[in-house]
Structure 1
Amino acid sequence: MRLVTYVAGGRPRVGLLEDGRVVDVGFDGDMVAFIEAGAPVSGREPVPDARLLAPLRPRSMRDFLTFEGHMRNALGRLGRPIPEEWYEVPAFYKGMPDTVIGPEEEIPWPHYTDRLDHELELAAIIGREGKDIPREEAREYIFGYTIWNDLSARDVQARELPVGMGPSKAKDWDGSNVLGPCIVTADELDASDLLMRVRVNGEVWGEDSSANMHHGFADLIAYASLAQTIYPGEVFGSGTAAGGSGLELDRWLEEGDLVEMEIEGIGVLRNRVGRKGG
């Protein structure tokens, strides 16, 4: 299934994308509740003039760093090697669910940064509750996949990282996380080798494959669930694909830029950059 959250003159509802149109699934609740309920589809009523929103308001967001190519590109610009620990530990930081926006929404440019950057990521949505999940069973906990544009204020990030507390205002502002356009359920998508591409104003800035994740989603789930319960509706990000950010190219977003992130089998997440401080 290709699941969406849409609005058409009323409150947001869960729908399906079928043949390029939105159909309602007959569920009275949001996407997280739909996942918790076992994804029950009780109808397929076409919805004219539906507008897509972010496919879900995540219960939580964990973002990892799994692409060695991105690490080499980003750290190489700083003259730094990849830490040995990176190869052993799938570390993550936590994002803020209330910052999420969806496809076609304008990307807010916070007034305090001059270097706004995009980050192309594949995201897995958790579908089952679990704790201390063995790696060999972890994929059974994935409900589906979507695209995540994890925006960054790079000049702010450079000031914050030496403190050792992880990203804060480099990552957290209204609209700093974009998800969409849909969730493709895990039974319909093999995420082991998906082409990932980012375009800015129609020009390809970078592309990679999910096959190049050093830590796979099974590793991420097993690590995050150590002594901690994970729940349906949580989002796990792959981290930035190689070439998936402007930082790696020393190219930066500008007001009005159209950013398109495409992942094979999922679709295109499209957003335009707003005015700085707007």
Structure 2
Amino acid sequence: MRFVTFASPSPGDAPRVGRLDGGTVLDVGFDGDMVAFIEAGAPIAAERAVPGARLLAPLVPRSFRDFLAFEGHLLNAYRNLGRAVPAEWYDTPVFYRSTGTTVTGPDTVLPWPSYSAQLDHELELAAVIGRRCRDVRAEDALGFVFGYTIWNDVSARDVQRRELPIGMGPAKAKEWDGSNALGPCIVTPDEVDLDTLELEVRVNGERWGGDRISAMHHSFGDLIAYAAQDQTLLPGEVLGSGTATGGSGLELDRWIQPGDVIEMEAGPIGVLRNTVGTPNRKDH
């Protein structure tokens, strides 16, 4: 199934949880947001079509955890930075955390933060946790996934270069209103084949990069198991694969510009499309 959060054409209506049937949005009859829907076991009451519905971010996550699982991305990025991939990366699927309030959805304008002059897209697949889990084995961890969505982890690269040597973060390089685009829907695991699923990013219609999920050095099972050591993961938490090979401008030394249209595609999940906003520089 493909689940969405949508806005109805009626002014003043609160966002609702729905299901996509082809190109039609069906209201599933649940009074609550997507996280509550997932936590309740995804109950579907009487469905009704909603003409003119507009898709929003499929959920506002309880949290984001973002990993670095694609060796190809790291090799490309580190080569451009004149560095080698740390040996520890091959053994440890580390992550950083961010807040779900930074999320935006499909067909929105990505805000360009006032404190950055160099913005970058990052193509990722995200797993949405469906059930509480703690101390799970990697081989069992996918059983706790509610579904998958596309994540554009937008990055302020100039800020990131200043922050990372300090040894904390990334912080403001990854976190401002609208810095995390999710969508267009959450697809349940029965419709996603992780062995064959391919990710692709296009900028203004031109393919910039992409890779198969099977190329991840650390699998989603590994990521979930690592995060869940001595810690309970809750329904509605999001874990990202990290950037797919060729999925960022950093790797190519090509940089998105205001007005560019970024399209990220992943099989049955569809296309996450956003337009890059205009910088609003401030004096500091």
Counting only pairs closer than 5 Å after superposition, residues 1-278 of structure 1 correspond to structure 2 as: 1-8=1-8, 9=10, 10-277=13-280
Q: Which runs of 5+ in 1 are unaligned?
A: none
1:136, CA displacement in angstroms? 1.8
CA–CA distance in 1 between the matches of 2:111 and 2:166?
A: 26
Cα RMSD for the two superposed structures: 0.9
- Write the deviation string for residues 132-170 of structure 1: whole angstroms up to 9, x where unpaired: 111121110011000000000001100110000020110
CA–CA distance in 1 between the matches of 2:21 and 2:264?
A: 21
8 Å contact from structure 2 (residues 62, 99) kept in 1: no
Amino acid at match of 2:3: L
Q: Percent identity?
A: 64
Amino acid at match of 1:257: D
CA–CA distance in 2 between the matches of 1:72 and 1:277?
A: 33
8 Å contact from structure 2 (residues 150, 269) kept in 1: yes
1:189, CA displacement in angstroms? 1.3
The runs of at least 4 aligned residues of structure 1 exceeding 6 Å deviation read none
Report the TM-score, using the length of structure 1 for normalisation: 0.98
1:112, CA displacement in angstroms? 1.2
CA–CA distance in 1 between the matches of 2:261 and 2:97?
A: 27
1:195, CA displacement in angstroms? 1.1
Q: Secondary structure at the match of 2:257?
A: coil
- Write the deviation string for residues 54-112 of structure 1: whole angstroms up to 9, x where unpaired: 00000111000000000000001112111110000000000111000000011000111
Structure 1, 171-180 or 189-198: larger mean CA deviation: 189-198
1:264, CA displacement in angstroms? 1.4
Q: Which runs of 5+ in 2 are unaligned?
A: none
CA–CA distance in 1 between the matches of 2:221 and 2:4?
A: 25
Q: Secondary structure at the match of 2:111?
A: strand
CA–CA distance in 1 between the matches of 2:196 and 2:186?
A: 17
Q: Secondary structure at the match of 1:63?
A: strand
Q: Secondary structure at the match of 2:93?
A: coil
CA–CA distance in 1 between the matches of 2:124 and 2:153?
A: 7
Report the TM-score, using the length of structure 2 for normalisation: 0.96
Amino acid at match of 1:147: I
